[in-house]
Structure 1
């Protein structure tokens, strides 16, 4: 059921908006107690997440604290969540600090109640200085960015031998490189629209922006062979400051845990790296005020250098300055489909198309965007020259 309350959370811009999903209620928690015996006891809600796409909270039960997350079954079924949980358990076994997932009374790590899918985690260890930070804002310190770059490399190295070779089962609100792997990105977009009732309805009275399509095609021709040949691993695909927990709030803090694998899928490391850069170092939310955005150059340099130092140099890195221009396209199209077909929020749908898909790509063809790509190339160049 869509929310009609005044509860506010993150939207598509900088200002809080009414949440698309109702908060988890006391009645919901009572029902959940019947499936998770760990939730039986005196319950106190400590915090509600402002993040979109789901409803989530921290719940204290007697002396224990749990993270409870609820998603609509329209786009996250139990088997979709269990796919995430299997990856999380594997990364945990490889020494990556990730949330501990609770099992329901039947042994399952996710349950369905009515129209919802639920998962319950132990409270993640660490401090969350970015708890209320919107995804598109930079790290508070370059030192944090460096720790994050190293951690992303560690994730990629840990996932290298994950034996699951089938990709994500979920078809809605996903992040992957399918469009980028296509032979013709324009035709791939048209096919995606044709196969989706929601996208077909949205574009029924629209002509796809020709300038945008030409920009996509120009970049895609340069990177498609490399992205097609890049080795596949399971990647996070939503690696930004607010999906990390820290030992404390200082600039010297260490990362204590990586959270929220809701967009994980089988992609390439270079795709995940490009997504992380695009999400963390460009202040996209200021784009409506003009093309000159705040760029966290110190954080960008620290992040990229720390990543390469940990993961090593790969020839695929050389396409990063081009890939970054269109890496957002697949998720933005998926987000658009979600807004039209599931939440029916057409204001958000228009933002996904005009402000994210089109305007983000266009920015990279403007002077500041070109300078950003040149900066990326300069950061990578010394490592390429060190290769034998």
Structure 2
């Protein structure tokens, strides 16, 4: 009998790669489930997630399917997971379909075993149409983009009143401190200084002048506009494979709140556009192998605006924000790759190909054309 195929995960490009974190085993899953009184007994591991930043599996139990996720404690402690679980509980209480978090025997929504943190969710309703697709790839249709826009607006409406402070300096958590600052470059200095791994990685690079160039070229007048935006807890990783779908093509459930924190609605909306309509995985030497999906962006915006209208000034701020919305997450990816994995190549991809490369694409003829068509389409 041939050996089972090795478990592979999504990489920083289009190819599958060996995982940084070992796949969850049946014995491991059974041991974790024993700490959750409502979990039941393990029957089988049904599927291993190809997401790269943690290990996760769909587990079958005698009480139904559950989703088990494991993080290294350097990435997420149980206390850090409790921050996002609190947000999820608020959204559920407002009627939004997000996964139900099971409680361990001590009442906590996550637990630590050795070097790992574990969380356990009930399987959310809906069809996982995008589960084998790379995270930052387009919607299958404009109808899906419209439905995702509707769901994002519903999330923003449900998030109102959740007043928790922004999350701490955990790697791979979005943040909103640089672009709305009176002096964005000084805010970037503070961001880097507060994260020793990021500071060490950038120490011998002209990162200040590079970031100053991008801010001067793309961020003129943006900071005061963002500073006026109402603070709101947001999802911050809105793409089709974080959504479950109905047969009719509506969004049935929303999951993966690992990047969620306090930012603003326009930041979340810009992130959704940036991650779903521009084929970044096909970016090579500053050029995209496939064109950006203007129709998908317009459909997502139309869906959003059907629930939460946007004033012309908000649209203008959104389009000014779009070319730079990725900056802080690129920096926290450096924190993850260099600080946790000791992966200099991955950190360099986050800096050069992601932070600098994406912004430079928006400065190119193709990027400027995309923004112009998007502006014209929204105004039509």
Same fold (TM over 0.5): yes
Q: Paired residue for 1:386?
A: none
Q: TM-score with structure 1 length normalisation?
A: 0.92
In 1, distance between residues paired with 2:42 and 2:272? 40
Q: Paired residue for 1:385?
A: none
Residues 320 and 376 in structure 1, CA contact (< 8 A), matched pair in contact too: no
Residues 304 and 379 in structure 1, CA contact (< 8 A), matched pair in contact too: no
The answer to whether the aligner puts 1:204 opposite 2:193 as a matched pair is: no
Q: Paired residue for 2:362?
A: 364
In 1, distance between residues paired with 2:112 and 2:39? 16
Q: Paired residue for 2:84?
A: 84
Residue 256 of structure 1 aligns to a residue in which SS?
strand
Measured after TM superposition, the shift of residue 188 of structure 1 is 2.3
From 280, 283, 286, the equivalent of 2:279 is: 283
In 2, distance between residues paired with 1:362 and 1:290? 7
Residue 221 of structure 1 aligns to a residue in which SS?
coil
Measured after TM superposition, the shift of residue 299 of structure 1 is 1.4
Measured after TM superposition, the shift of residue 289 of structure 1 is 5.8
Residue 311 of structure 1 aligns to a residue in which SS?
coil
Measured after TM superposition, the shift of residue 43 of structure 1 is 2.3
Residue 224 of structure 1 aligns to a residue in which SS?
helix
The answer to whether the aligner puts 1:268 opposite 2:267 as a matched pair is: no
In 1, distance between residues paired with 2:157 and 2:63? 36
The range that moved more, 352-361 or 94-103, is 94-103
Residues 30 and 41 in structure 2, CA contact (< 8 A), matched pair in contact too: no
Measured after TM superposition, the shift of residue 217 of structure 1 is 2.9
Q: Paired residue for 1:297?
A: 294
What does residue range 1-388 of structure 1 map to in structure 2 within 5 Å?
Answer: 7-162=7-162, 164-208=163-207, 210-248=209-247, 252-288=248-284, 291-292=287-288, 293-314=290-311, 315-382=313-380
In 2, distance between residues paired with 1:42 and 1:199? 40
In 1, distance between residues paired with 2:194 and 2:28? 35
Aligned length: 374
Q: What root-mean-square deviation, in Å, do the aligned CA atoms of Structure 1 and Structure 2 show?
A: 1.7
Residues 294 and 374 in structure 2, CA contact (< 8 A), matched pair in contact too: no
Residues 26 and 45 in structure 2, CA contact (< 8 A), matched pair in contact too: no
Residue 363 of structure 2 aligns to a residue in which SS?
coil
Residues 246 and 253 in structure 1, CA contact (< 8 A), matched pair in contact too: yes
Q: Deviations over 1:121-162 (max 9, x none)?
A: 111111111001112210001100000001101111111122
Q: Deviations over 1:1-53 (max 9, x none)?
A: xxxx9531011100011111111123322321331133442420000000011
Q: TM-score with structure 2 length normalisation?
A: 0.94
In 2, distance between residues paired with 1:199 and 1:269? 27
- Structure 1 residues 213, 113: CA separation in 2 closer, same or farther (over 3 Å shift)? same
In 1, distance between residues paired with 2:153 and 2:354? 27
In 2, distance between residues paired with 1:172 and 1:199? 10
In 2, distance between residues paired with 1:378 and 1:309? 18
The range that moved more, 210-219 or 28-37, is 210-219
- Structure 1 residues 123, 42: CA separation in 2 closer, same or farther (over 3 Å shift)? same
In 2, distance between residues paired with 1:200 and 1:301? 38
